[in-house]
Structure 1
Amino acid sequence: MDSRSWMPLVPEPPEHRLPAALAARDPLGGRDIGWVTQMRPFVRQFSRPGDTVFDPFAGAGTTLLAAQLEGRTALGCEVDTARVALIGERFAQLQLPAPRVMATSCDRSDDTALPPFALCLTNVPYFGCRWPGADTPDQLYASDSYAAHLDGLRAVFHRVSQRLPDGGFCVAMVQNLRLDGRMLPLAFDLARILGSLFELQEERLIVYERMPQALEAFDTHTDRSHEYALIARKQRSPVDLPATAALLESLRAAGHRFTLFGSFARWLDEPAGVTPADADLRVQADEATLGVLLADLHRRGFSLQSWGDAVPLPLRLAPYRGRHYFRAERIDREGARVRLDLCYE
């Protein structure tokens, strides 16, 4: 992998393509499963030989095959049992050992079932595909609404963040969608989700050749000959410590009641210790207290999020029960950051 922000998709060698007989048995006919040649550069760049590479949407095993070919241990989750069987047959035909694939959504698995992994690399399922296979509750291809689809993606990547070690990468391939004559910004919405769980690092544009066609005047349609590789990393990014301390004093002076705990509280007592990535505040779990505090932070230039979703004001707390905290973040024109996690449960 080099420094270019775009990557041409190299044609798949015949031996690595999904065999036609297996593709015919796939609910989507072998579409939407990615290419081995697309995944191998990311396996090489963001993991080491012997590492475990995890695909939470294993599909037909494309990422798992790329991982094995690069000397990594392949691990996956796939909610469609027919696809799990297909992966086993694909590897058997290649005379390769079958990877471990759990027939469940990874957010349903406990720590004993889902070991840590060095890299999460995946193609995400697309909304609006008219999934013809088994309609299981966790099948995101069959999401009833776009909002439900994003909620499902958020739950999966939240689980990924729990099992990915500090410094590990999460790379997701995704396109924006065109559905019923309009664009759904799935790539941009997924970037917001990943940015709420990891630190977004970069993007690569995966580009493939398609014969262009002339458009009528005012026609906006494209051939979708690109997709995004969103590259995120689990790491503790620095925050502006003096600005954070000053903000907390200002909030207390304004009458807001909260308890400071966690890494920032320890840093105040021992500045030579571990540098915090945010300030954790415990706040009374009622709409009045939280709503006034969030409104004040919004006036001070903070974005307000809950698991990647923007939090509208005035606050209604009921939809956020079970999410435990709100995140308030401000980035100034120099790139300096202040981040608060307001814990209410």
Structure 2
Amino acid sequence: MNNASWLIPDADPPEWSLPADIRARDALGGRDCGWVNQMRPFIRHFSSPGHRVLDPFCGFGTTLLGAHLEGRHGLGFEIDPDRAALARERLQRHGLHADIRVGSINGLDAGRANLCLTNVPYFGCGWTGATVDGQLYLQPTYADFLSGIRGVFHAVRQTLEDGGFCIAMAQNLVVAGRRFPLAWDVARILDSLFVAHEERVLCYPAAALPANPGSTKTNRSHEYALVYQKRRETVDLKGTAEVLEALRLSGFSYELFGSFQQWQEQGQPIAARLPADADLLLPLEQDQLNALLRWLSARGFQLTLWGEPIAPSLPLETWQSHHYVRADCRGRDGSLIRLDLCCEPKSTSARG
């Protein structure tokens, strides 16, 4: 793989394509099956021989087949038992024993993986297969669908080794004439769990036909490979300390704890690692909490609750049930100040 921001995958040779008889037995006719040659460059570039490659939406086992061809070990999760059986059959025809587990990764033990590489499912595809709890194709609303996506990638984060990459391939969609920014919404979810790198644009051959004047429709022959990594963020320590002092001078009460508090006391990295955020324990006072959110918002902080943007006002019960609110301020010089705002006992805090 070179450093071009776009990639045109080679079409799969017949021996690696999804067999026609397997395609015919699928609820969607296999139309959401990716290419082996779409996955292989990413497997080669972001993992090493012998590594474990995870696909939490494994479908027909395309990523797992690519992993085998590149000398890696594949692990797949597929929530639909019929598709899992078809994937196993496909790989068995290549003489491969497939480690495919039926169910969602956020409900099963996955062990450890070095790379996550997957195509995310599409919203509104008209699934006609079995009704299974957690089947994202059957989610009634886009918000429910994205919540399910987030749950899966949260489990992926627990599975990945430190330094491992998470690469999700996604396309913005048009359903009933309405555009759904799926790729960008998946990126927003991944932003809350991993450190973002530059994306690749994957381009596929498609006929370009004349368009009527004013037509906005395209042949939708591209998707995004969103490249993320499980590692600690780098934050602006001086800027963070200045914000914390400004909070005190503005009359906000908080208790600093966790790695930033230790760094301030010791003046050096803890266990050779710099803090990735500052953890604040706040008093259980609704008006003061909302005033703090307004103060931060007015100073350019983006407020999120488990990756979802929020307004500078939040019910105390919601805050407590989600453990913390994240406040990020990104400067024009690329700097980052990150505060995790907790309002629960430190002993049960989700951060530290």
Q: Cα 1:220–1:337, aligned 2, differ >3 Å: closer, same or farther?
A: same
Superposition deviation, residue 43 in structure 1: 0.5
- Helix, strand or coil at the partner of 1:102: strand
Q: Count residues with an aligned counterpart.
A: 341
* AA at the equivalent of 1:289: Q
Residue 319 of structure 1 and its aligned partner are, at CA, apart by 4.6
Say which SS state the counterpart of residue 325 (structure 2) adopts: strand
Distance 1:285 1:116, change over 3 A: farther
Q: Does 1:271 align with 2:280?
A: no
Matching residue's letter, 2:307: G
Unaligned runs of 5+ in 2: 345-352
Tell me which residue corresponds to 2:45. 45
AA matched with 1:341 = D
Which residue of structure 2 lines up, in the alignment, with residue 118 of structure 1?
Answer: 114
Cα shift at 1:69: 1.0
Contact kept, 8 Å, 2:163 with 2:231, in 1: the verdict is: yes
Q: Aligned-residue CA RMSD in angstroms?
A: 1.3
Distance 1:106 1:324 in 2: 23
> Which amino acid in the other structure matches residue 212 of structure 1?
A
**Cross-structure match for 2:350:** none
Alignment map for 1:210-225 (pairs within 5 Å): 210-225=206-221
Helix, strand or coil: the match of 2:220? Answer: coil
Structure 2 contact 320–343 (Cα < 8 Å) conserved: no
Q: What residue number does 1:330 align with?
A: 329
Q: Give the CA deviation at 1:286.
A: 4.9
Separation in 2, partners of 1:185, 1:179: 11
Greater alpha carbon shift after TM alignment, 99-108 vs 221-230: 99-108
The letter for the 1-side match of 2:126 is R
State the partner residue of 1:228: 224
- Residues 268-319 of structure 1: CA distance to partner in whole angstroms, max 9, x if unpaired? 1112223111111122345323211111110111000112110113323445
Return the offset for 1:7: 0.4
CA gap 1:285/1:229 in 2 versus in 1, 3 angstroms: farther
> For the structure 1 residues 71 and 329, does the alpha-carbon distance in structure 2 shift closer, same or farther, using more than 3 Å as the test?
same
Deviation for aligned residue 1:62 = 0.4
1:159 to partner: Cα distance = 1.1
User: Distance in 2 between the 1:54 and 1:180 partners?
Assistant: 33
Structure 2 residue matching 1:166: 3-state secondary structure: strand
Aligned to 2:349: none
TM-score normalised by L of structure 1: 0.96
Counterpart residue type for residue 237 of structure 2 = L
Distance 2:157 2:38 in 1: 23
> Where does residue 305 of structure 2 map in the other structure?
306
Report percent identity of matched pairs.
49
AA of the residue aligned to 1:188 = W
The one of 233, 239, 249 aligned to 2:235: 239
Q: How does 1:274-293 map to 2 (within 5 A)?
A: 274-293=273-292
Aligned to 1:68: 68
1:14-51 alpha-carbon deviations (Å, 9 max, x no partner):
11111011111111111112110000000011111111
Distance 2:284 2:29 in 1: 49
Alpha-carbon contact 2:303-2:312 (below 8 Å) kept: no
Distance (Å, rounded) in 1 between the aligned partners of 2:132 and 2:220: 29
- 3-state DSSP of counterpart to 2:341: strand
What SS does the corresponding residue of 2:113 show, helix, strand or coil?
A: coil
1:86 is displaced (CA, Å) by: 0.8
Task: State whether residues 283 and 343 of structure 2, in contact with CA within 8 Å, keep that contact through their aligned partners in structure 1.
Answer: yes
Supply the AA of the counterpart residue of 2:329. Answer: R
Q: 1:22 to 1:316 in 2, by over 3 A?
A: same
Residue 173 in structure 1 maps to residue 169 in structure 2? yes
Separation of aligned partners in 2, 1:285 and 1:157: 31
